């Protein structure tokens, strides 16, 4: 099922599907400029330091990119 929502609370990102069921959880820094950057129906982007990590709807890391 596609990603419908992603919310960061403290140092945790919660990802939900269209039925509002939690589909995965990921850790994230709670520093200015870092943490949850955005999401689409198929991915979630989380910045940690100078890298942005992309995860699919199953919580598998699919890419890493430089944030600079």
Q: What is the DSSP letter of 42?
A: S
Q: Is the dihedral of CA 62, 30, 8, 34 positive or negative?
A: negative
CATH code, 39: 2.40.10
- In tens, the pLDDT along 28-64 reads 998 999 999 999 999 999 999 999 999 999 999 999 9
What was the pLDDT predicted at 68?
Answer: 76
The stretch 1-26 carries a mean pLDDT of: 97
Other Cβ atoms within 10 Å of 16 Cβ, number: 17
The alpha carbon of 46 is separated from its chain's Cα centroid by a whole number of angstroms, namely 5
In sequence order, the β-bridge partners of residue 24 are: 15
Q: Assign 4 a pLDDT band (cuts: 50, 70, 90).
A: very high
Structural domain of residue 7, as residue ranges? 3-66
What was the pLDDT predicted at 1?
Answer: 82
């Amino acid at each position: 099922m596609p990603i419908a929502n992603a919310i960061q609370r403290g140092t945790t990102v919660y990802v939900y599907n269209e039925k509002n069921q939690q589909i995965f959880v990921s850790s994230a820094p709670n520093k200015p400029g870092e943490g949850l950057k955005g999401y689409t129906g198929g991915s979630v982007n989380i910045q940690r330091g100078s890298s942005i990590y992309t995860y699919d709807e199953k919580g598998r890391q699919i890419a890493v990119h430089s944030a600079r």
